[in-house]
Chains A and B, each alone.
Chain A
Amino acid sequence: MSAIEDREQAAFIDLSNAVSSADAVKLLEEYLEDSNLLTAPGSLIDINTGKLLLTPGVLSKIKTVSKRFGINIETLYSDVPQTQQSALDEGLFVRRFPPKPVAFSPKNFVAKTLKDLDLPFETLAEPTFQKAEPLSKLSVTLGDGRLEAVAQQPTSLETVFYKQTLRSGQVLEASGNIVIVGDAHSGSEILADGDIIIWGFLGGIAHAGRHGKVDAEIRALRIEAVQLRIGNHIARRPDRLFKNLKKQRGPEVARVRGGEIQIFEDTIER
């Protein structure tokens, strides 16, 4: 793996809104505890401390905390000369301006069924479920087992096109598939019996296959939805978004895999 790829993999943690250096250490700890992504030993992270003044003591504390999670800090972004010097002394790369964050890592999405969330969505929704139409299965099994099966859409589902930004408080509902050309802002809701495709950013709630079609998919150029629901599965956004440094991110797709909603990079592989 080349160094450049390594850089793109590094997660970015923003501590710039910490109110004190002690708070920054606490925040970092919380971030790392929340995260199931970064626990792979040897992972690299970049940290932004903005205008915080960090003494060498605090900086070594930050390093100790990260070590405990098996994480190494690669680059420290700071606006403060003293902090920059402390970081250099600790052997970190130092930069002044953090890169403009692109998006959070899709893998970091907290995917759970409603059971885990202590909300009996599954049992509640059951009576209203319509039996999903029998699907003609187009079995594609890839070697890595990631795609278990890809089902073909029944042709009976109609598709609704919507060419506008969906804003907070607006609901788009269809008994078929929905295609949106535009962004779906946080606070909006998209409800479809079939698939949802957004040529834009998804920030609100999207519920695909709402009458039990668990092989429905949600596609968007960028998925940062407050919640994703597919069939009777639900996934919510993590409380803190990890920003991914990767400059370009392709379209993403959410599917139910292994009993929970997962987000994949939507590459063409079938």
Chain B
Amino acid sequence: MAAKTESRVIVVTSGKGGVGKTTSTANIGAGLARMGYKVVLIDTDIGLRNLDILMGLENRIVYNIVDVVEDRCKLAQALVKDKRMPNLCLLPAAQTRDKSALTPEQMQSVVTELKKEHDFILIDSPAGIEQGFQNAVAAASEAIVVATPEMSSVRDADRIIGLLETKEEIKHYKLILNRVRPDMMKTNDMMDVDDVLEILSVRLLGIIPEDQNIIISTNRGEPVVLREGDKMPKATLAYRNIASRISGEDIPFLDFDTPVPWMEKVKNLFRFGAA
């Protein structure tokens, strides 16, 4: 067997709540697992955990990360295996404790342990910039900042980026712009992708369109990235592309204005070239 490459530890954060951190963590994690990587998701939102619900694993939790750091169980016992993919698992947060139940040092030792077995460790950060955030970033070497094209979200993202820049361990960070509404951007009723990138001066990892399929997926406890079929939701494609980009593939950003997916466009180009 080939030697395992260095595992990557990525924190997903935003500052503002409700912009799609947890949804993004679940979908990117499932997307990477779908590609065959060994992935573990860590929920650091102690007291307000939600990643388990999005993954549909809430009824399988016996132990959580606080049980691990307080030595009530071994790390392997707290990992909840995904019901769809054997190479994906979740380290849940405690629901009945608060943020002070975990320290950055404990987080680092948990992640060090997890690195032995996993290719990707995705850390879902709680909203805010207090201890929960500090715990979440403590062990990460990369960051994904999630924002929506709204003033309050972009402002908080700017604050978070400022904090990430002070962290020596964070080697690089990229932005996911979530809940993008191409219709409103066209009519200049909303900041567009370029506006946000210009203001934040940050590199883009992906664009997720506003998509009701995300709500449907949440209700079912099945990440939207795992949808299959001919009528794949746009959000599915967008999250798959993000997972591919994280794994190192160079994939162009989706153009939501045209109904033709980018793959078709590339094919069309070929057709013209050959003719």
Instruction: Indicate with 1 or 0, residue by residue over A213-239, a CB within 8 angstroms of chain B CB atoms.
Output: 000000000000011000000101111
> In this assembly, does B59 line the interface, its C-beta being within 8 Å of a C-beta of chain A?
yes
B251 at the interface (CB under 8 A from A): no
What separation, in Å, do the CA atoms of A20 and B229 have in the docked complex? Answer: 11
Asked if residues A236 and B60 are in contact (CB atoms below 8 Å), the reply is yes
Verify A168–B95 contact, CB threshold 8 A: yes
A236 touching B95, Cβ below 8 Å: no
A169, CB-defined interface residue at 8 Å: yes
A119 touches B59 (CB 8 A): no
A189 touches B60 (CB 8 A): no
Interface flag for B155 (CB, 8 Å): no
- Whether B95 and A169, one on each chain, are in contact in the complex, defined by CB atoms closer than 8 angstroms, is yes
Nearest chain B CB to A253 CB, angstrom units: 20
CB neighbours of A117 from chain B (8 A): 60, 62
Residues of chain A within 8 A (CB-CB) of B58 are 186, 226
Q: How far in angstroms is the closest Cβ of chain B from A105?
A: 16
With contacts A19-B213, A20-B231, A236-B60 taken as known, whether A187 is within 8 angstroms of B73 at the C-beta atoms is: no
Total residues of chain A contacting the partner, CB 8 A? 26
Query: Which residues in chain B, 11-61, are within 8 Å of chain A measured between CB atoms?
Result: 47-48, 56, 58-61
| A17/B216 in contact, CB under 8 A | yes
> Within the assembled complex, what's the spacing in Å between the Cα atoms of A188 and B56?
18
CA distance A187 to B48 in the complex (A): 9
Q: Is A237 a contact partner of B216 (Cβ separation < 8 A)? A: no
- Chain B: how many interface residues by the 8 Å CB criterion? 23
Question: Which residues of chain B are near A19, meaning CB under 8 Å?
Answer: 213, 216
Contact between chains at B77 and A120 (CB < 8 Å): yes
Which residue of B has the minimal Cβ distance to A114? B62
SS of B interface (majority)? loop
Q: Smallest Cβ distance from B125 to chain A, in angstroms? A: 19
Which residues B84-99 have CB closer than 8 A to chain A?
95-96
Do B62 and A169 have beta carbons less than 8 Å apart?
A: no
A170 at interface, CB cutoff 8 A? yes
Nearest Cβ on chain B to A53's Cβ, whole angstroms = 15
Contact with B along A93-136 (1 / 0, CB 8 A): 00000000000000000000010011111001000000000000
A239→B216 contact, CB < 8 A:
no
* A171 partner residues in chain B, CB cutoff 8 A: 96
CB distance from A29 to the nearest CB of B (A): 14
- B220 on interface, CB distance cutoff 8 Å: yes
Q: Which of B48, B77, B96 contacts A124 (CB 8 A)?
A: B77
Which residues A16-40 have CB closer than 8 A to chain B? 17, 19-20, 22
Q: Would you give 5 A-B contacts (Cβ < 8 Å), ordered by A? A: A17-B219, A19-B216, A119-B77, A189-B96, A238-B59
A contact residues vs B (CB 8 Å cutoff): 17, 19-20, 22, 114, 117-121, 124, 168-171, 186-189, 226-227, 234, 236-239
Can you list the 3 inter-chain pairs with the closest CB atoms, starting with the nearest?
A236-B59, A237-B59, A171-B96
Given A117-B62, A121-B77, A236-B60, 13 more A-B residue pairs with CB atoms under 8 Å apart are A17-B219, A19-B213, A19-B216, A20-B231, A22-B229, A117-B60, A118-B81, A119-B77, A121-B62, A171-B96, A239-B56, A239-B59, A239-B83
Chain B positions near chain A (C-beta within 8 angstroms): 47-48, 56, 58-63, 73-74, 77, 81, 83, 95-96, 213, 216, 219-221, 229, 231
